[in-house]
Amino acid sequence: MAKDKRQYPRVEISWPATIITADGLVSCRTENLSPEGTLIRCSESPGSLDSFRLVFKPAERQLILATAEKVWSKSFDNNNGTSHAMGVRFTFIPDHDYQLIKGTVSQHT
């Protein structure tokens, strides 16, 4: 088995999120999270993205804003139609939002 090269562990976190593109908004949900990136799943395809804005809405907390880049993406067929998963790396997060994500990950590990 390949060694995980991540600097930070990922924890299972399900937060609503929105991808902001030039074509509009795409609703999605996080499946796991680290201070460096996240796995998101969308019911509609976010299209061909490289870099984009991502807004998270943690339960009972402020919005978290990030700029991210797609690392990989894959579509899955299931009973409810097709879902789209995407692994993303954060390229910019304001320091206060980064600290909030880092603290959330730390609480869950």
- Per residue in 57-100, pLDDT (tens digit) is 987 778 999 999 999 988 887 777 778 899 999 999 999 999 98
Output the CA torsion sign for 5, 83, 107, 101: positive
Q: Can you give the pLDDT at residue 5?
A: 58
The structural domains of the chain, with segments of one domain joined by +, span: 11-107
Residue-wise pLDDT tens digits, 1-53: 444 555 667 889 999 999 998 888 999 999 999 999 999 998 877 777 778 99
Q: Please state whether 44 falls in left (phi above 0), alpha (psi between -120 and 50) or beta.
A: beta
pTM of the model: 0.82
Second-level CATH architecture of 11-107: Beta Barrel (2.40)
Cα distances (angstroms) measured from residue 86 to each of 5, 37, 47, 99, 109? 18, 11, 11, 23, 23
